[in-house]
Amino acid sequence: MTESKALSLLGLANRARKVISGEELVIKEVKNGRAKLVLLSMDASENTTKKVQDKCRFYRIPIYWISNREILGTAIGKESRVVVAITDLGFAKKLEILLGES
């Protein structure tokens, strides 16, 4: 499945220090224009989902859904994560391609 390829790439981006995780930090990166792509867990709270979607829409940052917080966390070698931002354009574009296929 293509999501697993995307998650492998996400792990690589994380090791390259191009991934920010955590709601407040992600929103800060979106506002500063450093976030190129946001990945949001489908089991995020309504409040978090709305806040992240509104910011991404306003700043025109693409947003993609990941099955759940455990999968997203595992991909970056951490415990469950609800939202992550990719700060590198190359990684972001490749992830968009992979996630767009799934």
Instruction: Give 41-51 pLDDT, tens digit per residue.
Output: 999 999 999 99
Average pLDDT on 24-33 reads: 97
Q: Which of 31, 17, 1 has its CA nearest to residue 98? A: 1
CATH number at residue 64: 3.30.1330.30
* Structural domains of the chain, count: 1
- E strands along the chain, which residues? 19-21, 37-41, 63-66, 83-86
Under the banding of pLDDT at 50, 70 and 90, the label for residue 102 is low
Please state, in angstroms and as integers, the Cα–Cα distance from residue 27 to each residue in 1, 6, 19, 84, following that order.
Answer: 29, 22, 13, 10
CA dihedral angle for residue 95, residue 40, residue 68, residue 19, rounded to 10 degrees: 60
pTM metric for this prediction: 0.94
| 49-101: pLDDT as tens digits | 999 999 999 999 999 999 999 999 999 999 999 999 999 999 999 999 999 87
Angle between helices 2-15 and 89-101 (to 10 degrees): 170
Question: What number is the average pLDDT over the span 2-21?
Answer: 94
**pLDDT at position 34:** 97
Per the CB < 8 A criterion, the answer to whether 95 and 66 are in contact is no
Identity of residue 15: R
Residue ranges making up the domain that contains 64? 2-101
pLDDT band at 4 (very low <50, low <70, confident <90, very high): confident
